[in-house]
Amino acid sequence: MSIALACWKCGADLKDLPQPLGRRAECLACGAELHVCRQCRHYDSGKAKQCRELAADEVREKTRANFCEWFQASTGAPAAGATASGSASLDVLFGGPAAPERSADARSELDRLFGKD
């Protein structure tokens, strides 16, 4: 039985690859290595060492094949911005080009909070 997987880099369907993914598995569409942190269900960019598995050894290169014993291929879609630099998220946070149009509302709320009218 095959698990529905998508490449962490290009999002291509990985249904034709044998499961579980071997250490040398590569995406048939883009050639990306797949036994990598970014493809793992434990990967979490918001956690220390970007991994939810506390017992796992740190892997510095999250997009290179590794020997992590805790690796389990993620069955979800690639993380939002998996191939992006993260600048879109920073733009939203700091009011750059991708900031929500509610920035005026946010500014007025901050002014109200700090007693500026």
Q: What are the tens digits of pLDDT across the range 69-88?
A: 999 998 765 554 444 445 55
Same domain assignment for residues 4 and 33: yes
Q: Which residues contact 41 (CB under 8 A, 6 or more apart)?
A: 72, 73, 74, 75, 76
In total, how many domains does the chain have?
A: 2
In a shared domain, residues 40 and 96: no
36 and 88 both lie in a single domain: no
Q: Are both 74 and 93 inside the same structural domain?
A: no
**What is the Cα–Cα distance from 45 to 5, expressed in whole angstroms?**
20
Same domain, 63 and 94: no
Residues 45 and 98 in one domain: no
38 and 65 belong to one structural domain: yes
pTM of the model: 0.63
Residues 75, 26, single domain; the answer is yes
CA distance 33 to 56: 20
Co-location of 17 and 48 in the same domain: yes
74 and 89 fall within a common domain = no
Residues 18, 72, single domain; the answer is: yes
In this structure, the answer to whether residues 69 and 20 fall within a common structural domain is yes
pLDDT at position 84, please?
41
CB contact at 8 A, 35 and 71: yes
Separation CA 83–CA 38 (nearest Å): 10
Nearest partner of 93 among 108, 83, 103, 79, judged by Cα: 103
Q: What are the pLDDT digits (tens) for 27-44?
A: 999 999 999 999 999 999
* Residues sharing a CB contact under 8 Å with residue 83, sequence separation 6 or more, in sequence order: 9, 10
Q: 24 is in which domain, residue-wise?
A: 1-79
